Structure 1
Amino acid sequence: MSWSPQPEPLGQLAQFLKESLNPRDKTAQKNAELALKNAGANPDINNYLAYLCISPEVPVALSNDDYFIARSAAAVMLKNNVKTSYKTMAEPNKDYLRSTILQGLQDQDKRIRSYAGNVVTEIVRQGGILGWPQVLAELISLIENRNGNIASHIQDGAMSALLKICEDHKKALNKVYDGQRPLDFLIPKLIEFTTSPTSEVRSKALGTLNFFIDDPMPQAMQDNVEKFLAQLFALAQNDQDEEVRRFICRSFTKLASNVPALVLPHVSGIIDYVLVQQKGDPESDLALDAAEFFFENCEVEELQDEFAQHLDKIVPVLLESMIYSQDDQAKLEAEAEEDAEKEDKEEDIKPQFASAKEKGIAVKPEDFANGNGYAYDDELSDGELEEDDDYGEDPEEMWNLRKCSAAALDTFATRFHERVFEFTLPYLKNNLNHAEWPNREAAVLALGAISVGCMETVQPSLPDLVPFLISLLTDTQPVVRQITCWALGRYSSWASHLDAAGKQQFFEPMMEGILFRMLDNNKRVQEAAASAFANLEDQATREITPYCVIIAQQFVRCFAKYKDKNMYILYDCVQTLAEHVGPDMAQPAIVDLLMPALIQRWTTVSDKSREMFPLLECLAYIATALGEAFAPYAKPFFSRCIKIIQDNLEEGNLAASQVYMDTPDKDFLVTSLDLLSAIIQALDGDRASELIATANPNFFELLAYCMRDSNNDVKQSAYALLGDCAIYVFAQMQPYLDSIMRILTMQLDLSEALRDTDPMLKETAFRVINNACWSVGEISMRHQAGMDPYVEDLLQKLGMILFSQQVPESLNQNAAIALGRMGLGNDQRIAPHLAQFAPTFLTVMQSVEWTDEKLDAFRGFVQIVLDNPQALEQCLLAFFSAIASVPADSRKVPVSQTERPFEGFHKALMAYKNMIPDFDGFISHLPQEQQYELRQNYSL
């Protein structure tokens, strides 16, 4: 289009852009930012920015370096403007951008090409493929270079832009527009570009194709995948460019994951190729990309036989790859210091997240965790080229060849067991006692990696290996001590379940060794030891009980020594001990040790500190384990939780009215509510009631606020606390019951949860409703006939949950239990509806384990049945089957009732015996063992 900039404002704009990035003159920088903000009102501002971005001609007033800064700033500002206001931009300005910005891809400077590519992709992102349909053809024309007069850097710029567009618009490119699908044209072109003489084009073409090797695979990729595979083999044979080989490995990895049947005939050759790349240069990114072929595919069922045949080649290469790189060794040796006295930097402390409590029958979450337990956090999209890592990045934190190889070895061991150990054993013999610490460290890592998969095979060797590992806990190199703690933790299950003599010989030295290392003078070793000990506690469970005084003594020493970061994992150690030892923690020797240390930390941590989350969670476990022994300490904890909740709610209300105020962290509410719940459960009713009565502000009014919170985790914990209050302090809750029941009934509405499109939000919403159902049941058990005003609404809501096929089974079950328990005292109100819900109720309850809650639900259901026995005509046999299935120990008198539960069942059975002419013939349709149970237990 015929637009051109005015020289004077163009020069001024370039000057302002340059000054806006001038860190040395803050005044000039602020003035420039203000001027740019004012310039934003000019309707042609984006045209000026685009012109600066694409124009290499340096204005007289600026140096080359200054002009580059101005062009970069112009590109960034333009991209941001496109992102925020492209849809409202005038059409002539859009036309100018689309007609000129591609020239930026032809710039001599790679950085400018990248910036221009970002603008191109943002225009397509905001306007859609149809908003700039010719962009694909123009980019492809530049890459094709049919006339042979386009420089390789221009092809590279165009290919980079095409890669980004494909990454952002995978689905849009697979749609039909005017009878044509862009991918049908693009995929063959991309395969063609992998033969380009320009290595950057070849590698980025491979990276772009990788976006489309997904499940489900687009039809255009399916139609060309064999051609693509053939081209990969050709490149693998001839291409020496490292970046291209990286993407060949990535392509093999994705194809093996998503179309294993296609690559199966060629797996042997692919494995050989990948192993060569992995062994070539352990310091390179290529080695990591090669190793990820095994990490990503070692569990693909179709490839197992092939992997099994090549373990003799794969395992040694994985083992060789588990040694720290030369650069990482240098960094770790430089950091091998006694730093226990140094204060932690705030940025080094990882954020903690609270997990809300779930009551009743738990929703089973999808397992999103990595199966082999190794940190794998590759945030790059498939095919995306990563930027250089910062030099200072911690080699122990980053995903690297060492971790990738260890993770793959772990999974192969789980699959192939003794075969992996067979090829690992020689490596262990040669390296566990190696003179060089990196070899020792890698051998210990290997031994830990195979622990789960090869346990039966390794077990005969453990009496020799474990003492040797314990000796490595005193290694001079902190990294060796660190990995040894981890490896011992992996074998703690074996040691903790030996006989008494075995425990004395192996478990106790292992435990003492890890405990001793918890007080190491190196913080990383402290952290590894504490993590290993928490794992040991989890593996040993009750076996840890005889040692808990010694353990508590060491924990107290750690409280005195640890800085903030390691305090987080120490809380985990303490709460895990409390979880597994339980009431045995209440002995004075432990209480008198641990509680002062926890109280000292409690007084140190501010209400706003994120450390409050793990501390509150830890105290909840301690309160549960100590029970009444926690009573002398309860009041200050209880009062402070009330204060934290009140402050958080007030800040939340203020933030809602202030645009620029951050919303307070909801985890403060979650963990405070959970500790309140634990305290109420731990204390006797009178003491708990006293704490609630003296709470300021009012306890139940605060709880009602939390029950209405917008955050699902907060609501989940609030409803858990509500149910606990119903169990332990119902009399105090009763005056507030009317308002609580209104909120509770609203929470049982499924509609909002079913509308959630985010799977995680949907799951947490279901957890809230789960706890709400459980609370209904607990309140019903105490309030009984007092539930009358709420029965109709509750019945409708619980019925919707009971019948829903769109909720987890656990939610159906909790709704059924709540509905049944509501029948105690409200049977006459519910009886007219019995025929509608009885068949589903009985079907759902079949899959619920027998507990006091299930028994209470059936007691309530039987009372409803006695009011309307005819309603069970369609499901009577299922009812009899349920009664016959009540286990013997459930037929004893539970705490919650004075009448023997089977007396109500007996009344119901006798009523039906009198109603059914051939009663014996009717129950003969039940299995023999159920007929026997009915006759034996109910005098039939």
Structure 2
Amino acid sequence: MAWQPSPESLQTLIGCLKDSHNGFDKTAQQQAEIMLGQAKASPDFNNYLAYIFSSPAPPAGISLSANDYGMVRMAAGIMIKNTVKNSYKQTPDATMAMIKTAVLMGLRDESHSVRNYAGNIATEIIRRGGIYAWPELLNELLNMIGNVGGQTAPATQEAAMSAMAKICEDNAKLLDREHNGQRPLNVLLPKLVEATASQLPKVRAQALTALNEFIPRKSQAMLANIDALLNQLFTLATDPTNDVRREVCRAFVLLVETRADKLTPHIAGLVDYIISQQQNEDDEDLACQAVEFWLPAGEHEDFWKNIGPYVTKIVPSLLEGMVYSGDDIALYGEASDDDEEEDQDEDIKPRFATRKLKRNVNGSADPSDDPSQNGAASANNNYEKLGGMDEDELEDGEVDDDDSGLDIDDDDDGGGYDDGGNSSWNVRKGSAAALDVLARDFGDDMFGCIMPYLTVNLKHPDWPQRESAVLSLGAVADGCITAVTPHLPNLVPYLVTLLDDPEPLVRQITCWTLARYSAWAIDLTDPALVATYFVPMLEGFLTKMLDKNKKVQEAAASAMATLEEKAGKKLEPYAGPIVKQYIKCFGKYKDRNMYVLYDCVQTLAEAIGPVLALPELSSELMPALFKRYAVVADQSRELFPLLECLSYMAMALGSVFTPYAQPVFRRCVNIIHQNLEQSLAAASNTHLDEPDKDFLVTSLDLISAIIQALTDEKASILVTGTQPAFFELLSFCLEDPTDEVRQSAFAVLGDCAKFVFAQLQPCLDTILPILLKQLDMDNILDEEIDSGFSVINNACWSLGEIAIRHGNGMAPYTEELMKHFVEIITNPRVPHGVNENAAIALGRLGLASAEALGPHLHTFAEEFLASMDDIDPTEEKATALRGFTLVVAQNPQAMEKVLLHYFRTIATYEDIDLRSPIKQELHDAFQNIILVYRQMIPQLDTFLAQLSAEEQAALKSQYRV
């Protein structure tokens, strides 16, 4: 017999649900919430919720107004969704069956809210259980969308299509995966194309939204339906509904990236269409989506060439779109001086530099974050440092309020495509970005298209025209630099005067544009020209950092950071005035602009490094930093950029950082301890939120920088004197489920191996098994993201540092480590840098474990030598080659197939300024192995004659061959 509710229990639950949303009676609301909490323990609780949600009218005997009962059903729907979200696997099958039935009934309900929530619950079930948790759903939705049987109400078709679009968004990859010999996408795609011809605008728009999820995937199903889709896109291009045309424009954007060949025959009409849509003044979102087309079009390897004949049409439309609209002027123009006003919470975005910091022993830093470029060839310490994370997964209906207006272009110059504080992408930003891309395509020829516009508008009396001209000049800086350069002696002084323009938005954009051309001024060598152009630019940025308008301050600080990055050591003579101005900024800035000020300080530290350690500079800058450090709470997101800034300062100051090291180190350890405790609490109590792992990442990175900055003795004292036990906390971080945390934790581990090994060594029996687990690539190779490789990269690097110091202590782990390292260096899917670090670790493992590795030499000799070929001569390479050579001495016969390669490696190896005894030890190892082969191969000279004359000469001069 089917489940039936108890009338008494049903009445009680409905009353609780009603009171739980009663904002006028707090006592009743609190009591209802208590009762609902108790009711959740009943195994039938969700059955009751499903019954209420799917019942369009109150049950017999219950008198409620339509409005009150609608609120009750919504409350039931919310609780059902939360059950699915948080307890899907624990929900009995019978209950889940009732929920699914309620969902299908809800999609056909007369209430818009019920239909909407039914769709949300359906997508949540698929999200938690996968497509095959409810295989009938897709057919049910398709039948509703297509009005199969002719009895489906338009509202239900729309609700079903909305649910389908969300399911496609969440499960695009899974829908294209074969299951029982079939791919759901093969059936789904043609139905979606068919739905784009619906008479209902919402269905047409949502069908396109769903289809757009699959265009980038290049599946067989899309290949089979691409022509039908294109026909519909051309038909819908003139659709009267803006939502439909917006998705049409989005489809064209995606097609440029994946099937540009299909659009090329239609390029003339497509250009006209995109221009017409981006000029739509009534729908900003539609216009934004249209202007987005030029970005992939301009970046496509070949497609941009087809745009060439139409550039004279496209550029004026972009220039027109870059002028502030009347509404924008009302919102952002003529801004008052606001530097004394405190920032509101909504003004402060959680923003900080996201450069990955790879440090080496001389204190320099490489901001690259590409694991494929992070191998032994790029730095002495071959690990990746994560500056921080700022990506939150958003639930349906939530809004991403990241105010990323300052970080649009590739150069990260700041301010360029910003619009005075508007946080969203808009036509102005899109037009400027498109002009930038097209300028890179068409180069100096492009400048001819905008020169007339600049002539008229750069000195225009109306500030919006003047501002737009400055923006356009900055946008073409990279692509048209050769054509612009002859004009810079006149343009730069004029732009410097615009830094004092009465309109803050003009001052703001001028900072960005000047920064885009700063390389020209930086490269000047004539002292007179430097004084005429570079110095006024530098002084202008520094002055505007204390502008009366906070947005101008921000733009000037961003421009200054760009100047620092491009100028590098050329800023050393100006370090004093720069630091003095930064100190004033620390005393003046409100919370928001502190973020970009930290970036200025850390970029300066990166640019001029040890110069900041001079007493007259460090004695002023560090107290200013620490004054702010003292007032930033451990829970504040401002701590992220502040700790990252201190990481750069520690690396720049070296031992001069010592007086500040202990309180900072201890605070970082305390933050890590608190974060880990919060994680444990959240794991045992689902009502508690997971802590923000960014605090772990930035704290670990700063600890790493401090350990490197101090002398080994001072660093050892810090680690030894830190409670709770430092390495115990570190071991927890090494096993954290978040890739970025483990990535930074392994970087700290490697630094500890290098600088405080005596303190680390007693903990290695606990840590080495953790390291072994991290070398397993099975899960990583199935993922589409590379953060897992970054973890393996740092794990390999830290293992190499441990191996050369732990010696025979590696014996219990040697065989398993070797298997993992060989798997990494022989897998072509592994990024280049990870391969190199694994090869170095494998070679170093041979220093104390040559006898154990010898029998397996044939499994990795070829790949090891290939990895060494691309690594610059460093201490890491030297020790790895010596370890490998000791392994070869254990089994010289195993080198038969690669012996010539090995001798070439020996012949071409060049010592840089390696210290002894490492240099001499490697030379001796090479000399000894050559003698081994001399005894094994009577005709060795004949064999070596296959090498080049230079290689033979090198062997003769260095090793007496």
> Is the aligned partner of 1:572 residue 2:573?
no
> Which residue of structure 1 aligns with residue 323 of structure 2?
323
After the TM superposition, which residues 153-552 of structure 1 pair with which residues of structure 2 at under 5 Å, given as runs? 156-157=158-159, 159-161=161-163, 163-164=165-166, 167=169, 190-191=192-193, 193-219=195-221, 221-236=222-237, 239-281=239-281, 284-333=284-333, 336-345=336-345, 348-350=348-350, 364-365=370-371, 396-500=422-526, 501-552=528-579
> Is the aligned partner of 1:682 residue 2:706?
no
The separation in 1 between residues aligned to 2:61 and 2:325, in whole angstroms, is 47
The separation in 1 between residues aligned to 2:637 and 2:735, in whole angstroms, is 24
Shift of 1:421: 1.9
After the TM superposition, which residues 609-688 of structure 1 pair with which residues of structure 2 at under 5 Å, given as runs? 609-649=636-676, 652=679, 660-688=687-715
The separation in 2 between residues aligned to 1:396 and 1:389, in whole angstroms, is 11
> Which residue of structure 2 aligns with residue 28 of structure 1?
28
The answer to whether the 8 Å contact 2:107/2:159 transfers is no
Shift of 1:320: 0.9
> Is the aligned partner of 1:45 residue 2:48?
yes
- Give the stretch that moved more between structures: 513-522 or 624-633: 624-633
C-alpha distance 831-396 of structure 1, shift in aligned 2 (>3 A): same
- Give the stretch that moved more between structures: 179-188 or 474-483: 179-188
> Which residue of structure 2 aligns with residue 767 of structure 1?
790
The separation in 1 between residues aligned to 2:25 and 2:346, in whole angstroms, is 29
SS state at 2:950 partner: helix
C-alpha distance 287-608 of structure 1, shift in aligned 2 (>3 A): closer
SS state at 1:925 partner: coil
- Give the stretch that moved more between structures: 928-937 or 88-97: 88-97
SS state at 1:873 partner: helix
The answer to whether the 8 Å contact 1:357/1:717 transfers is no
- Which residue identity is paired with 2:778? L
The separation in 1 between residues aligned to 2:353 and 2:402, in whole angstroms, is 27
1:837-864 deviations in Å (ceiling 9; x for gaps): 4333223212211112212322333344
- Give the stretch that moved more between structures: 279-288 or 1-10: 1-10
C-alpha distance 907-121 of structure 1, shift in aligned 2 (>3 A): closer
> Which residue of structure 2 aligns with residue 373 of structure 1?
none
The separation in 2 between residues aligned to 1:39 and 1:400, in whole angstroms, is 48
The separation in 1 between residues aligned to 2:810 and 2:191, in whole angstroms, is 70
SS state at 1:298 partner: helix
The separation in 2 between residues aligned to 1:124 and 1:822, in whole angstroms, is 47
C-alpha distance 632-236 of structure 1, shift in aligned 2 (>3 A): closer
Shift of 1:646: 4.5
SS state at 1:595 partner: helix
- Which residue identity is paired with 2:217? D
> Is the aligned partner of 1:920 residue 2:921?
no
The answer to whether the 8 Å contact 2:807/2:847 transfers is yes
The answer to whether the 8 Å contact 1:163/1:207 transfers is yes
The answer to whether the 8 Å contact 1:748/1:769 transfers is no
> Which residue of structure 2 aligns with residue 594 of structure 1?
621
The separation in 2 between residues aligned to 1:507 and 1:669, in whole angstroms, is 41
- Report the number of matched residues: 914
The separation in 1 between residues aligned to 2:867 and 2:187, in whole angstroms, is 53
> Which residue of structure 2 aligns with residue 556 of structure 1?
583
- Which residue identity is paired with 1:50? F
Shift of 1:548: 1.1
Shift of 1:619: 1.9
- Which residue identity is paired with 1:135? E
Runs of 5+ consecutive residues of structure 2 not aligned to the other structure: 361-365, 374-389, 406-419
CA RMSD of aligned residues (A): 4.2
- Which residue identity is paired with 1:215? R
Shift of 1:64: 5.5
When Rg is computed on C-alpha atoms for both structures, the one with the higher figure is: 1
Shift of 1:409: 1.5
The answer to whether the 8 Å contact 2:351/2:595 transfers is no
> Which residue of structure 2 aligns with residue 370 of structure 1?
none
The separation in 1 between residues aligned to 2:96 and 2:627, in whole angstroms, is 66
> Which residue of structure 2 aligns with residue 103 of structure 1?
108
> Which residue of structure 2 aligns with residue 748 of structure 1?
772
> Is the aligned partner of 1:936 residue 2:957?
yes
SS state at 1:926 partner: coil
The separation in 2 between residues aligned to 1:771 and 1:124, in whole angstroms, is 36
- Which residue identity is paired with 2:611? D
Task: Kindly indicate whether structure 1 or structure 2 has the higher relative contact order, using CA contacts under 8 Å at least 6 residues apart.
Answer: 2
The answer to whether the 8 Å contact 2:315/2:449 transfers is yes
Runs of 5+ consecutive residues of structure 1 not aligned to the other structure: 368-375
The answer to whether the 8 Å contact 1:704/1:740 transfers is no
The separation in 2 between residues aligned to 1:133 and 1:15, in whole angstroms, is 35
> Which residue of structure 2 aligns with residue 130 of structure 1?
135
Shift of 1:564: 2.3
> Which residue of structure 2 aligns with residue 902 of structure 1?
923
C-alpha distance 408-59 of structure 1, shift in aligned 2 (>3 A): farther
Shift of 1:272: 0.8
Query: Could you tell me the TM-score, scaled by structure 2's length?
Result: 0.84
1:699-745 deviations in Å (ceiling 9; x for gaps): 55555555555554444444433433444444x43xx5243255235
Shift of 1:882: 0.9
The separation in 1 between residues aligned to 2:96 and 2:749, in whole angstroms, is 58
- Give the stretch that moved more between structures: 828-837 or 273-282: 828-837
The separation in 1 between residues aligned to 2:199 and 2:832, in whole angstroms, is 58
The answer to whether the 8 Å contact 1:893/1:901 transfers is no
The answer to whether the 8 Å contact 2:322/2:429 transfers is yes
Shift of 1:538: 1.0
The separation in 1 between residues aligned to 2:4 and 2:714, in whole angstroms, is 81
SS state at 2:873 partner: coil
The separation in 2 between residues aligned to 1:444 and 1:480, in whole angstroms, is 8
SS state at 1:748 partner: helix
Shift of 1:543: 1.5
Shift of 1:919: 2.6
1:526-549 deviations in Å (ceiling 9; x for gaps): 222222211111111122221111
The separation in 2 between residues aligned to 1:177 and 1:152, in whole angstroms, is 32
> Which residue of structure 1 aligns with residue 363 of structure 2?
none
Percent identity of equivalent pairs: 44
C-alpha distance 129-306 of structure 1, shift in aligned 2 (>3 A): farther
The separation in 2 between residues aligned to 1:377 and 1:354, in whole angstroms, is 11
The separation in 2 between residues aligned to 1:756 and 1:397, in whole angstroms, is 35
1:747-773 deviations in Å (ceiling 9; x for gaps): 034564432467477x44443443343
Query: Could you tell me the TM-score, scaled by structure 1's length?
Result: 0.85
1:339-358 deviations in Å (ceiling 9; x for gaps): 44414427723155887765
C-alpha distance 565-721 of structure 1, shift in aligned 2 (>3 A): same
The separation in 2 between residues aligned to 1:151 and 1:647, in whole angstroms, is 55
The answer to whether the 8 Å contact 1:828/1:864 transfers is yes
Shift of 1:918: 2.3
Shift of 1:589: 1.8
1:116-152 deviations in Å (ceiling 9; x for gaps): 544565577767553347524641453x7969xx875
The separation in 2 between residues aligned to 1:305 and 1:29, in whole angstroms, is 65
The separation in 2 between residues aligned to 1:60 and 1:654, in whole angstroms, is 42
